[in-house]
Amino acid sequence: MSSMQSNSSANVTFVRPATFFIKGFSNVPHVKYYYMFLSLVYVVTVLGNSFIMCIMYLARRLHTAKYIAVFHLAFSDLCGSSALIPKVIDTFLFEHQVVSYDACLANMFFVYHFMNLQSLTLLVLAYDRLVAICFPLRYHAIVTKPAMFLIIGVIWSFSVTFFSVLVGLVNRLSFCRSNVIDSHFCDQGLIYKLACNDNSINILMGKISFGLLMCTPLILIIISYFCIALALLKIAHGADRIKAMKTCTSHLMLVAIGYLPLISNNIAALTTSIDPNTRIINNSLRQVIPSMLNPIIYTLKTEEVMQSIKEMYKRNKVYTTQERRIKCICKN
């Protein structure tokens, strides 16, 4: 272990490493192609989420409370991928696997913070659909722009505070055995395992993080859709029921893409012994693929977004045609 800072207190040596070593894959042939694939995923993620955010900003019909939450999901996806993928590429493709202690903690904070925002934003969108279908006459009075900005502000404040505490607790750990992290980024669970002093509080906070910020939103989303299903059963006309169900399909697809890999990974981890390389592939894909697919799903499966794109395309086409005519007239 390089460059250790230590002092002795009560016969216990407290050691904080100056750096961590991100190990990544072990003995995997042609692994650089996987990192190149992640680079492609990142490019698609940036283009897709930037595109949908621009559409929502430019199309006035999308300036509603619901699309404030959708815009926030796209922003969280973009920031989450930006916190993870460029660092992974730099670490492994360019062989910068030695990371400073502070940089590692910063990377941990931003990766988990934006993952949490993605999860909580899906819950906010479930709340939007719940009010729209169960209380349609009161929807515009309940789900307002100020209310949506307030909700987003609350989840940001909560997430920043929670993960600041979570990451700050790493500073109480002593790393006297190893500074090698067997993952593709500064994974909190694996860092806690490297500690040689009492890490029970860190483990507890990790469990609270998973239960409170990942499992609880999923449970609340399931409950909200149970209530939506009951409300749909009360709709007499089948056409109205199908129309109401269509407004939920894009959100349900996002929930499935975001949570099913998470659940399957954790079930596999609890029931079987997973090869470290398999675990890294599963975790990295779970973190980046939903962010890439979310804007594609919302663009293709949401009628309002598609209609806004078509209208903007037609306006741009008309403007271009008029501009060409003016140039031709000026030349003549």
pTM summary value: 0.88
**Domain definitions of the chain by residue range:** 19-326
Orientation angle between helical segments 32-58 and 276-301, nearest 10 degrees: 30
Please count the other Cβ atoms lying within 10 Å of the Cβ belonging to residue 27.
6
User: Residue 221 corresponds to which tokens in the numbers above?
Assistant: 């989303």
Q: What is the CATH number that goes with domain 19-326? A: 1.20.1070.10
CA distance 274 to 245: 38
Pairing of strands 4-9, 12-17: antiparallel
User: Residue 315 corresponds to which tokens in the numbers above?
Assistant: 């306006």
Question: What's the pLDDT tens digit per position in 28-52?
Answer: 888 888 989 999 999 999 999 999 9
Query: What DSSP character marks residue 169?
Result: G
Question: What's the pLDDT tens digit per position in 237-283?
Answer: 777 777 778 778 888 888 988 888 888 777 776 677 778 888 888 88
Task: Over range 320-329, report the average pLDDT.
Answer: 68
Question: What's the pLDDT tens digit per position in 155-210?
Answer: 999 999 999 999 999 999 998 888 999 889 999 888 988 988 888 898 899 888 88
Q: Which amino acid is at 174?
A: S
CA angle 167, 88, 272 (to 5 degrees): 75
Identify any residues that bridge with 266 across adjacent strands, giving them in sequence order.
none
Give the helix ranges, DSSP H, for 182-237: 188-193, 200-210, 216-233
Q: Which amino acid is at 286?
A: R
